[in-house]
Structure 1
Amino acid sequence: MSGTPGSEAPSQVPPPQAAGRHPAAGDSGGGDAVGRAREALEQMGAPAGLAEPLVGALGPRAGAEISTDPWRLLAVSGVTPQQADYCARHVLGAEASPDDPRRGKALAAHLLRQGAREGHTALEEQRLAGALRSMGVRSVDAALSAALDGGEVLSFEMVDEPDDGDDFDGGDPGEVPDPDRWYALTRIGLAEQDLGEGLARLAGTSEPIMDSATAAETVEATAERLGAEVDPRTAAALVTVALRGVCVLQHGAGARVPVAHALACAAAIAADSEAGIAVASPTAQAAAEVNSALADLGAGGDVAAVPLAVLLETRSPGVHGRRSERPIEAGLVVVTGARWLDVDRAAALVDACADGTHLVLLADPAQAPSAAPGSVVADLVASRTVHVADLPEGPDAGPLARMAESVAGGELEEVGAPGREVVVVPADSAAAAAHRTVQLITDSIPRALEIPAEQVQIVAATRGGEAGTDALNAVCKERLNPGPGAHGGLDAGDRVLVTADGPGCAAGDVGYLRVADGDDGNGQGGGAPVLAVELPGGTLARVADPAQLRPGWAITVAAAHGGRWPAVVAVFPPETRASRPQVYTALTTAQRHLSLVQAAGPALAQGVRENAALPRHTRLVQVLREG
């Protein structure tokens, strides 16, 4: 990136990706604020279309703020540093110095927002300073101080103590190393800090729910009652759950039965000890899958999973009815599919657990980390501050699980699938991949496997391109539910993806849009339409803003994380930059059938073999170790 404010033309400043507007508090209707922002944008040569997202990001004084500090444009998603530099030169002329503290402040926050989109919760000072210098900021200290003074950024000092194991030799411990300084967006940094401190609180206040001998007897009695054979590893893990405040139970792709056993036995321990249990899953689809497994085991009446948004009584992103003042009414809280947890949701969950609550996270370590910032489960395991146990694989895992396990081991191999549980569909171009994908969901899978199109989910590696989710959704909309797009581009009956947490639903939920007539204020119909998403099981989750919905016939791997569907068409276009966790996560969203549309050629297997992890910069390990 150039260190001099660029000369990029104003017409090239892109509009934000997010649709709709979210006026800030105090902007009654937002019209005046948007108008003032539009005027300010036009004066600096930027598109007037940025006005609404700018007010959403900065509030009703957005126009005044960018007039005095044009680099505040970087608060809008999609605006690049070069484009903000152009606007600054347009407004400030020769005063638009590359080393202007306002520029440094905005660039620091921009880099942290960019990092958050990649899953990082914080950046170490040297890394952030190096990125700022590459953008022409010479006075890095002044830029970082300005960012801290602005309130959007926080700094944390952390001592990275080497993990040398237990040393009882009485040697000289040496000097305490100098602390490292990390920078984070305020909301994310505080959430990660709260999460670490909350986990330490649970670990420090918990008492055994049941002694080890009684817990083992309860597991044995539960297995006998259900006519099931519980693996000794599962029984040992459940004894740990009864004894310890925070546990991680790891499992693989074929552990549907052991996970159901673990939940049934945990419910029995909670019932016999009168502690009570609550089980949550990432999404409505995931909760339905857990409950199906419990029903198959004969334990459907003992315990049931609900979406985490339901357990926390989520009202809007970051706002929950269950919190420290009104905690979850259970002494044992279990979350399945916990790799999906980011620091925000995990912090909310821990905050809603009263002192002494036992928290259990069930997670598949081969899956990708959360779509939002954080690597919660991996950090918990790496910290060595919580108790970790492994569940066994289930009996006769089947072709889907075998293929997923081969990917987890670094190899993309075809497996025998006599019941067509897994089908690899080669394609020599993105256009061919798109054609085959639509053919599979609309014809081949419903006809050959008797799985209706409503139960087939497309999961694509990319959003853009001919075989990305945007293009596939457009074709599926035309084929499966054509309409004028009366509700923010959507129509009743469209399959939709929820993009923000809300009452009864979470980002990543997929359902069908239902529309009812609204009340006109006098108890009569004819008011603004009421939108709701019908989720698995028939639950209706009301949605206040159509901007929180996107077409959902095709969704990205990140959006699919935490979801499970009877059949999945996983699409890897030629431009895919694959990783092992990404491919594994896509495969494990399928319950009964997977069609793998492979247009990436040898690069897909190479990505699985060589890109073994998606590393993230986080602080949680150090926060946990500091206690």
Structure 2
Amino acid sequence: MSDAPERTAAVLAGMGAPESLAGPLVGALGPGAAEELAADPWRLLALPAVTPDQADFCARRALGDAAAPDDPRRGRALVGRALAAAVREGSTAVEERELGRALRGMRIADPGAAVEAALDDGSAMVFEVFPEDADDGFEDGEAPEMPDPDRFLAPTRVGLAEQELGEGLARLIGTSEPIMDPATASETAEAAAERIGEDVEAETSAAAIAAIMRGVTVLRHGPAAGAAVRHTLACLAAAAEDSGVGLAVASPTAQSAAVLNELLGGALAAAAPGAVSGEGAPEAEQAAGTDTEDEETPQEGAAPSPVVAVEAVPLGRLLAAGGPVPAGIVVVSDAMALDVERAAALVEACEDGTHLVLLADPAEAPSARPGQVVRDVAESRMAAVADLPDAPSPGPLGELAAAVAGGDLARVEAPDREVVLVPASSGAEAAHRAVQLVGDSIPRALGIAAEQVQIVAATRGGEAGTDALNKACKERFNPGPGALGGLDAGDRVLLSGGGPGYSAGDVGHLRTGPEGDERPHVELAGGGAPVPVDPAHLRPGWAVTVAAAHGSRWPGAVAVFGPETRGSRPQVYTALTRGVRHVSIVHAAGPELAEAVKEKTSLPRTTRLRDIIREG
């Protein structure tokens, strides 16, 4: 076992810092944390919980008179702190002048020197972007002077990922050719509609044809577009089969892939025999959506077509094999959840000429991690963009989502209790109601098993935050000694990182491994054997934050808004659209929540992806 924590604790003690920081510092800096900290006390700022004033105090204890506000080590650390704070808010870069103002507020007299120290260290990168409105005309036969570029700073890891993503998307746009000519694509879409026996709207066919013709396509849809999504994938599957290029469909998490497969049912199998090899289609249960009222149900006893199913898989599984994705059309659902690093890995796995299709609901919040991939791709004007129609009768869940997207946290009529509002007078009451809904009310009244209902909370802290809710759920649903870091077999868990067979954001149930295998295993949505996971990735998962739930859907959801909730329209919309058959809204946030939905319409981020794609 490494002695890194003990060595780090000794250095911390010498500078007057809590020795309890040793473990987190080793996690942040690696096994050489003690040596790094001894040479540079401001490395403490690698931990978000440590303030600049606290780091300055420890530096004075360690360095004496040699500790100074303009020390390059201090400047470098504070640049890293400012960039890390921006990344936590979803930005991928910070404009240099804005960064300078932040550094001067932390007693850095010469921000330029601090930036240079960070660049020399390799922890940050600088990127130059020319203004979009630069004058590119000629006057009196003379070329105009080039304007000064805007300079952006980014943490190296994030900056490189965004650069690679933009260049990779430009590569796909530049190398792709139409899979079919327009007439053949139109005929293929019509034939797919006939095979699945459903009416396909002209708008949906046009969107599918755009994806067949263009290398990168964003297909935007609303909350009740389940049928349009299914029809689009049927058309693409048919095109992939007829042209021999193959189709791969992926979702950000195991639970979103399971929901998509339930929605697809057997429709894709009938549309495209052999489009992608697989074990078989999920049985066609009731589609997990709000748009099935007018759809015909296949005749009971009808012979299934002798075809191979098209199956959505978790994105992590698609990429886990390494090497290129063996498909000429790659579709990603719930794409608003993509951050620049994950999207970069996806694009890198796409060979030249691959057609990439991003299915996304633009009313959702952007990714919980840095970037706003879908928005930037659409705004680059280098990709195709098309809209899929919602169902004519979206049902209560669709009506609620549409109202929130328009800025109104409205009540909707739900005679079959698809939407239930549960007011609460305090955070403690909200937590009690949420646990009661999962354990009793929803399974009893609606027939949705407790294992298929997810609590999604707006905050982590407070009496109605995920920490308190997970504690209450643990006590009710699976009390135990917490043998594995506070967890026990049977607990619902959230995976905070990815590994072979699982992705960050997956929610499943903790299981014991096969005999002789001491590793923790997690059973994920969609069936299959439990997968071994890194214990460091395990978190309680009875309740998850909106950010952690992004990219996932469940048959039922309980959205909890405690008194601490400040919220925004995208956050509330995302929370209320995690349940595909039912959502209970436990509301203790007061009138401020409706005001936030009305007024706080976006979550601004600074990103460079749009410009990188344009530059090619």
The two structures have a TM-score, normalised by structure 1, of: 0.90
In structure 2, how many angstroms separate the alpha carbons of the residues matched to 1:557 and 1:492? Answer: 25
In structure 1, how many angstroms separate the alpha carbons of the residues matched to 2:8 and 2:324? Answer: 42
Indicate the residue corresponding to 2:23 in structure 1.
52
Shift of residue 79, structure 1, vs aligned partner = 1.8
* Correspondence 1:14-163 to 2 at 5 A: 29-31=1-3, 33-162=4-133
Indicate the residue corresponding to 2:536 in structure 1.
547
* C-alpha contact 2:257 2:526 (8 A) present in aligned 1: no
Indicate the residue corresponding to 1:611 in structure 2.
600
Indicate the residue corresponding to 2:291 in structure 1.
none
CA shift digits 1:313-362 (9 cap, x unpaired): 1xxxxxxx42xxx2111111110110010000000000000001111101
* C-alpha contact 2:368 2:547 (8 A) present in aligned 1: yes
Indicate the residue corresponding to 2:354 in structure 1.
357
Amino acid in the other structure paired with 2:460: R
* C-alpha contact 1:158 1:180 (8 A) present in aligned 2: yes
In structure 1, how many angstroms separate the alpha carbons of the residues matched to 2:587 and 2:262? Answer: 31
Amino acid in the other structure paired with 1:305: A
SS at 1:137 equivalent: coil
Amino acid in the other structure paired with 1:279: V
Indicate the residue corresponding to 1:433 in structure 2.
430
In structure 1, how many angstroms separate the alpha carbons of the residues matched to 2:336 and 2:247? Answer: 21
More displaced stretch, 142-151 vs 544-553: 544-553
Is 1:597 aligned to 2:565, yes or no?
no
Is 1:232 aligned to 2:206, yes or no?
no
In structure 2, how many angstroms separate the alpha carbons of the residues matched to 1:296 and 1:172? Answer: 64
* C-alpha contact 2:255 2:552 (8 A) present in aligned 1: yes
* C-alpha contact 1:461 1:572 (8 A) present in aligned 2: yes
Indicate the residue corresponding to 2:178 in structure 1.
208
Amino acid in the other structure paired with 2:180: M
Amino acid in the other structure paired with 1:363: A
Indicate the residue corresponding to 1:292 in structure 2.
262
Indicate the residue corresponding to 1:465 in structure 2.
462
Shift of residue 395, structure 1, vs aligned partner = 3.9
Query: Unaligned 5+ residue runs, structure 1?
Result: 1-28, 314-320, 520-526
* C-alpha contact 1:120 1:618 (8 A) present in aligned 2: yes
SS at 2:602 equivalent: coil
* C-alpha contact 1:267 1:302 (8 A) present in aligned 2: no
Match of 2:379 among 362, 378, 382: 382
SS at 2:425 equivalent: coil
Shift of residue 61, structure 1, vs aligned partner = 2.5
In structure 1, how many angstroms separate the alpha carbons of the residues matched to 2:207 and 2:431? Answer: 45
More displaced stretch, 76-85 vs 166-175: 166-175
In structure 1, how many angstroms separate the alpha carbons of the residues matched to 2:49 and 2:129? Answer: 32
Structure 1 pair 157–211 and aligned structure 2 pair: CA distance change class (3 A) = same
In structure 2, how many angstroms separate the alpha carbons of the residues matched to 1:431 and 1:389? Answer: 45
Indicate the residue corresponding to 2:166 in structure 1.
196
* C-alpha contact 1:504 1:541 (8 A) present in aligned 2: no
Amino acid in the other structure paired with 1:140: P
In structure 2, how many angstroms separate the alpha carbons of the residues matched to 1:359 and 1:52? Answer: 42
Identity, % of aligned pairs?
61
In structure 2, how many angstroms separate the alpha carbons of the residues matched to 1:505 and 1:163? Answer: 46
* Correspondence 1:152-301 to 2 at 5 A: 152-162=123-133, 174-295=144-265, 297=267, 299=269, 300=281, 301=308
In structure 2, how many angstroms separate the alpha carbons of the residues matched to 1:140 and 1:167? Answer: 35
Amino acid in the other structure paired with 2:203: R
CA shift digits 1:391-448 (9 cap, x unpaired): 1112421100110011001111011101000011111111111111111111111121
Is 1:560 aligned to 2:532, yes or no?
no
Shift of residue 53, structure 1, vs aligned partner = 2.2
In structure 2, how many angstroms separate the alpha carbons of the residues matched to 1:240 and 1:465? Answer: 47
Amino acid in the other structure paired with 1:599: A
Structure 1 pair 44–168 and aligned structure 2 pair: CA distance change class (3 A) = closer
Amino acid in the other structure paired with 1:624: I
Amino acid in the other structure paired with 2:55: A
* Correspondence 1:439-518 to 2 at 5 A: 439-516=436-513
Structure 1 pair 544–563 and aligned structure 2 pair: CA distance change class (3 A) = closer
SS at 2:363 equivalent: coil
Indicate the residue corresponding to 2:563 in structure 1.
574
In structure 2, how many angstroms separate the alpha carbons of the residues matched to 1:250 and 1:170? Answer: 45
SS at 1:516 equivalent: coil
Shift of residue 52, structure 1, vs aligned partner = 2.2
In structure 2, how many angstroms separate the alpha carbons of the residues matched to 1:452 and 1:559? Answer: 22
Match of 2:327 among 320, 326, 330: 330
The two structures have a TM-score, normalised by structure 2, of: 0.91
More displaced stretch, 243-252 vs 441-450: 441-450
In structure 2, how many angstroms separate the alpha carbons of the residues matched to 1:477 and 1:345? Answer: 32
In structure 1, how many angstroms separate the alpha carbons of the residues matched to 2:138 and 2:261? Answer: 48
* C-alpha contact 1:530 1:542 (8 A) present in aligned 2: no
* C-alpha contact 2:470 2:540 (8 A) present in aligned 1: yes
SS at 2:265 equivalent: helix
| Segments of 4+ moved more than 6 angstroms | 166-173
Shift of residue 537, structure 1, vs aligned partner = 2.3
In structure 1, how many angstroms separate the alpha carbons of the residues matched to 2:172 and 2:142? Answer: 33
In structure 1, how many angstroms separate the alpha carbons of the residues matched to 2:614 and 2:134? Answer: 10
In structure 2, how many angstroms separate the alpha carbons of the residues matched to 1:429 and 1:268? Answer: 53
* C-alpha contact 2:365 2:570 (8 A) present in aligned 1: yes
Indicate the residue corresponding to 1:3 in structure 2.
none
Amino acid in the other structure paired with 1:57: A
In structure 1, how many angstroms separate the alpha carbons of the residues matched to 2:232 and 2:576? Answer: 23
Is 1:537 aligned to 2:507, yes or no?
no
Shift of residue 162, structure 1, vs aligned partner = 2.2
Structure 1 pair 501–609 and aligned structure 2 pair: CA distance change class (3 A) = same
* C-alpha contact 2:250 2:313 (8 A) present in aligned 1: yes
Amino acid in the other structure paired with 2:2: G
* C-alpha contact 2:365 2:571 (8 A) present in aligned 1: yes
Structure 1 pair 412–170 and aligned structure 2 pair: CA distance change class (3 A) = farther
* C-alpha contact 1:191 1:343 (8 A) present in aligned 2: yes
Shift of residue 541, structure 1, vs aligned partner = 4.9
Shift of residue 530, structure 1, vs aligned partner = 2.0
Indicate the residue corresponding to 2:319 in structure 1.
312
CA shift digits 1:249-299 (9 cap, x unpaired): 000000011001001110000000001110000111111111111116464
* C-alpha contact 1:517 1:530 (8 A) present in aligned 2: no
Aligned residue pair count: 579
Structure 1 pair 380–504 and aligned structure 2 pair: CA distance change class (3 A) = same
Amino acid in the other structure paired with 1:310: R
* C-alpha contact 1:445 1:451 (8 A) present in aligned 2: yes
Shift of residue 160, structure 1, vs aligned partner = 2.2
In structure 2, how many angstroms separate the alpha carbons of the residues matched to 1:547 and 1:562? Answer: 22
In structure 2, how many angstroms separate the alpha carbons of the residues matched to 1:173 and 1:282? Answer: 48
* C-alpha contact 1:505 1:541 (8 A) present in aligned 2: no
More displaced stretch, 545-554 vs 48-57: 48-57
Is 1:624 aligned to 2:613, yes or no?
yes
SS at 2:519 equivalent: strand
In structure 2, how many angstroms separate the alpha carbons of the residues matched to 1:509 and 1:263? Answer: 24
Shift of residue 176, structure 1, vs aligned partner = 2.8
SS at 2:120 equivalent: helix
Amino acid in the other structure paired with 1:288: A
Shift of residue 576, structure 1, vs aligned partner = 0.6
